[in-house]
């Protein structure tokens, strides 16, 4: 299955494909039955989110503009500047920077892992905003950008897709 995407004019095809691949990995993980993410029009009429449904509802944009990346109900936009510059850390927001699972990453020599972390962060926003109103455990807190709903989704993505590949010498601050 394909995902709708748009590559920025100064983003290489390989960089774009990498971001799309990471977004698909995040969607595949969060669509597993254990997470009970729901899709629907109104609360009483909901059904489990499938990977095919998730792919149809996400658009991935890549750019290289020295701008912030972001995630919304309709799409995620990833700026590949940090990936291209091979930075060695990923800084999270102060409110959860020291969390042992979703906190900042320092001393990482794998730029792809840091890019995957960024994509997971933005996909978590997408899931929170689009499926939060229909998912039992996200329904009450999905409106706050970096609130409990976001942290719950992001924690699962980081725990399964990013953190197992962090070397012991690298730190999650």
Question: Which residues form the domain of 76?
Answer: 4-172
* Other C-beta atoms lying within 10 Å of the C-beta of residue 36: 12
Q: What is the pLDDT of residue 71?
A: 97
Q: What is the pLDDT of residue 171?
A: 57
What does the pLDDT average to over 137-166?
96
Tens-place pLDDT, residues 43-78: 678 899 999 999 999 999 999 998 999 999 999 999
Q: How confident is the model at residue 168 (pLDDT cuts 50, 70, 90)?
A: low
SS (H, E, C) the chain: CCCEEEECCCCCHHHHHHHHHHHHHHHHHHCCHHHCCEEEEECCEEEECCHHHHHHCCEEEEECCCCCCEECCCEEEEECHHHHCCCCCECCCCCCCCCCCCCCEECCCCHHHHHHHHHHHHHHHHHHHHHHHHCCCCCCCCCCCCCHHHHHHHHHHHHHHHHHHCCCCCEEC
Is 169 a residue whose pLDDT tops 60? no
Contact 26, 157 (CB under 8 A): yes
Q: How confident is the model at residue 86 (pLDDT cuts 50, 70, 90)?
A: confident
Q: How many domains does the chain have?
A: 1
Tell me the sheet residues that pair with 121.
none
Is 170 a residue whose pLDDT tops 60? no
Tens-place pLDDT, residues 87-103: 899 999 999 999 999 99
Q: What is the pLDDT of residue 13?
A: 97
């Amino acid at each position: 299955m394909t995902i709708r995407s748009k590559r920025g004019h100064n983003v290489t095809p390989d960089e774009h494909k990498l971001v799309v691949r990471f977004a698909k990995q995040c969607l595949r993980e969060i669509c597993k039955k254990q997470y009970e993410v729901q899709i629907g029009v109104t609360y009483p009429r909901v059904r489990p989110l499938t990977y095919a449904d998730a792919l149809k509802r996400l658009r991935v944009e890549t750019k290289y503009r020295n701008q912030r990346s972001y995630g919304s109900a309709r799409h995620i936009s990833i700026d590949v500047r940090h990936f291209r510059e091979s930075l060695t850390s990923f800084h999270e927001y102060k409110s959860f920077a020291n969390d042992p699972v979703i906190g900042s990453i320092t001393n990482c020599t794998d730029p792809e892992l840091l890019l995957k972390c960024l994509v997971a962060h933005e996909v978590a926003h997408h899931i929170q905003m689009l499926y939060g109103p229909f998912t039992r455990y996200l329904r009450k807190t999905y409106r706050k950008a970096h609130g409990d709903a976001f942290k719950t989704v992001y924690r699962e993505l980081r725990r399964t897709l990013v953190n197992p590949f962090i070397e012991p010498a690298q730190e999650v601050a």
